[in-house]
Amino acid sequence: NAGVIQTPRHKVTGKGQEATLWCEPISGHSAVFWYRQTIVQGLEFLTYFRNQAPIDDSGMPKERFSAQMPNQSHSTLKIQSTQPQDSAVYLCASSHPGQGPGQLYFGEGSKLTVL
Partner 1 sequence: QQKVQQSPESLSVPEGGMASLNCTSSDRNFQYFWWYRQHSGEGPKALMSIFSDGDKKEGRFTAHLNKASLHVSLHIRDSQPSDSALYFCAASELASSSFSKLVFGQGTSLSVVP
Q: Are 59 and 66 in contact (CB under 8 A)?
A: no
- Residue closer to partner 1 (CB basis): 17 or 37: 37
- Cα dihedral value 95, 101, 103, 109, nearest 10: 60
Q: Is 93 in the site for partner 1 (CB under 8 A)?
A: yes
Residue 22 within binding range of partner 1, rule CB under 8 A: no
Choose, by CB under 8 A, the member of 60, 69, 82, 107 that binds partner 1.
Answer: 107
Give CA torsion, residues 56, 54, 4, 35, to 10 deg: -30
Binding site for partner 1 (CB under 8 A): 4, 30-31, 33, 35, 42-43, 45, 48, 50, 55-56, 91, 93, 95, 97-98, 100-109
